[in-house]
Amino acid sequence: MPFELPKLPYSFNALEPVVDAKTMEIHHDKHHAAYVAKLNDAIAKHPELRGKSVEELLKDINSIPEDIRTAVKNHGGGHANHSLFWEIMTPKSGNPSEAFVSEINKMFGSIDKMKESIVLNGMGQFGSGWSWLVVSGGKLKVYATANQDSPLMNPASPAGGGDIPILGIDVWEHAYYLKYQNKRDEYLKNWWSVVNWETVERNWANAQNR
């Protein structure tokens, strides 16, 4: 089956004022839809890849036929990254559980220090990209990637087969420019008020079982 654009779990205006409705509409219906369409175009050239999940394609990116490898990296990464992004946001953000906070404290000292690290990585990403919280070799880790590169492709992952992203902030300008213009720092700091910690924790728990 071809890859499909996932439906948003909320309305376009649900995350206002942090993310405005027009940005959400363009981001989902135009940008993400384009990644899905171009990924399907690439896979159509190699029927033997049909049936693989986008995660399987990205984890084994170096085995993808060379003529479509860049397309799968860019558009497959865009599809996977955005599919995660929509799910880890919510208009009803709560607080992480004590168990998850304890794990964060072990790795970063405090949840505020973890957030600060993710924001700094997002600010330090030159041009387009993402700032991530991943599970790498069973441990939480923060770093940024360029463009639509996915942590699933990380060749340095100690577990092999890439890292597992559990939270990611999109720092492409199309994610924030209509509202924040050049104020990426303001966007990154405000973004925490719409984080779906329940989903992030579920991603963390699932990563422990892989």
Over the stretch 60-101, which tens digit does the pLDDT of each residue have?
999 999 999 999 999 999 999 999 999 999 999 999 999 999
Q: Above 90 in pLDDT, residue 210?
A: no
What is the CATH number that goes with domain 21-87? 1.10.287.990
CATH class of domain segment(s) 98-208: alpha beta
Q: Where are the beta strands (DSSP E) in 40-178?
A: 129-136, 139-146, 164-170
Which of 126, 139, 150, 186 is closest to 76 using CA atoms?
150
3-class secondary structure, 180:
helix
3-class secondary structure, 149:
coil
pLDDT digits (tens, 9 = 90+) for 189-204: 999 999 999 999 999 9
Question: Contact at 8 Å (CB) between 174 and 31?
Answer: yes
Question: Contact at 8 Å (CB) between 57 and 76?
Answer: yes
Residue range(s) of every CATH 3.55.40.20 domain in the chain = 98-208
Characterize 92-116 residue by residue with b for buried, 16 or more Cβ atoms within 10 angstroms of its Cβ, and e for exposed. Answer: eeeebeeebbebbeeebeebeebbe
pLDDT digits (tens, 9 = 90+) for 144-175: 999 999 999 987 776 667 899 999 999 999 99
Residue range(s) of every CATH 1.10.287.990 domain in the chain = 21-87
Which of 172, 114, 101, 181 is closest to 143 using CA atoms?
114
Residues 6+ apart with CB under 8 A from 176: 19, 23, 184, 187
Distance separating alpha carbons of residues 94 and 107, to the nearest angstrom = 21
